[in-house]
C-alpha cells in the first residue's frame, strides 16, 4: 500500500477550524538538515510540544515535499514555519525579536541540557546530521548545550536529539503538568 492511499486516514481537522492550544515559546532553527524524514519527525515532535515556530534553513526540506509529508503526517499544517536560504538570516530574524539562540552541539564549552537555566522565550538550533552546526554559526549563538552521552558515540539522530531537548525545556518550565489534549 502506498502512503498516498493511507493519507485520508491521517488527515486532521484544518488549522482554521481548530481551537489551537497555546504555543510554548520555543523557536526551532534547523540548519541544513539532510534528511526530509528527520525534518518530518521534528515537525511531529514540535506539534506534540506546541512549539511556536520552526525555521527551516539551507538544504532543509520544506513543504511541499513527499518525504517530509510521510513522517510529518500533516504536522507542518499545525506548526508555523518559515524557510530561510541562509541560517544567519534566521538567527538574525529570531534575535531581532529578543529571543536568545542556543546551538545544540557537542563543543568544548557546551552546557548539559539538564543543567542549562532555560528562559522563555528561547530558540534552539540543530545542525546537519554529518557535519553538525558549523563553528562560525554556533559561535555566533548565545550559547551551546549538549546532551550527555554515555556510550562510545558523541552524538545521536537529530530528530531524537530534538525530542530530548524540547521536552527537557518544557519539563523545566513546568509546561508538561497539564493534561494532554
What are the structural domains, with CATH classification, of the chain? 24-173 (3.40.1280.10)
Higher pLDDT, 78 or 37: 37
Q: Can you tell me the mean pLDDT for 81-104?
A: 97
Could you tell me the pTM of the whole model?
Answer: 0.88
Kindly report, residue by residue over 116-158, the tens digit of the pLDDT.
Answer: 999 999 999 999 999 999 999 998 999 999 999 998 887 899 9
Q: Are 21 and 117 in contact (CB under 8 A)?
A: no
- The total number of residues shown for the chain amounts to 181
Strand, coil or helix: what is 17? Answer: helix
pLDDT above 70 covers a percentage of the chain that reads 87
Instruction: Look at residue 78 in the predicted model and tell me its pLDDT.
Output: 83
Dmax over CA atoms of the chain, in Å, equals: 48
Higher pLDDT, 10 or 118: 118
Would you place residue 8 in the very low, low, confident or very high pLDDT band (cuts 50, 70, 90)? very low
Q: Based on C-alpha coordinates, what's the Rg of the chain?
A: 16
Q: Are 53 and 30 in contact (CB under 8 A)?
A: no
- By the 10 Å C-beta count (0-12 exposed, 13-18 middle, 19+ buried), 28 is classed as buried
pLDDT at 114 > cutoff 70: yes
Q: Can you tell me the mean pLDDT for 57-63?
A: 92
Q: Are 18 and 77 in contact (CB under 8 A)?
A: no
Rounded Cα gap, residues 142 and 138, in angstroms: 8
Q: Are 86 and 123 in contact (CB under 8 A)?
A: no
C-alpha cell at 59: 538544504
Amino acid at each position: 500500500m502506498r502512503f498516498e492511499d493511507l493519507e485520508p486516514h491521517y488527515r486532521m481537522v484544518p488549522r482554521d477550524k481548530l481551537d489551537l492550544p497555546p504555543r510554548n515559546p520555543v523557536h526551532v532553527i534547523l540548519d541544513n538538515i539532510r534528511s526530509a524524514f528527520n525534518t518530518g519527525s521534528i515537525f511531529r515532535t514540535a506539534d506534540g510540544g506546541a512549539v511556536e515556530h520552526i525555521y527551516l534553513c539551507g538544504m532543509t526540506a520544506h513543504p511541499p515535499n513527499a518525504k517530509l509529508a510521510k513522517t510529518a503526517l500533516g504536522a507542518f499544517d499545525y506548526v508555523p514555519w518559515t524557510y530561510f536560504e541562509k541560517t544567519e538570516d534566521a538567527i538574525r530574524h529570531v534575535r531581532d525579536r529578543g529571543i536568545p539562540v542556543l546551538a545544540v552541539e557537542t563543543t568544548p564549552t557546551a552546557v548539559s541540557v539538564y543543567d542549562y537555566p532555560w528562559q522563555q522565550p528561547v530558540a534552539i538550533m540543530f545542525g546537519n546530521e554529518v557535519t553538525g552546526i558549523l563553528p562560525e554559526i554556533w559561535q555566533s549563538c548565545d550559547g551551546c548545550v549538549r546532551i550527555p552521552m554515555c556510550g562510545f558515540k558523541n552524538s545521536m539522530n537529530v530528530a531524537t536529539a530534538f525530542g530530548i531537548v524540547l521536552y527537557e525545556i518544557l519539563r523545566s518550565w513546568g509546561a508538561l503538568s497539564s493534561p494532554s489534549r
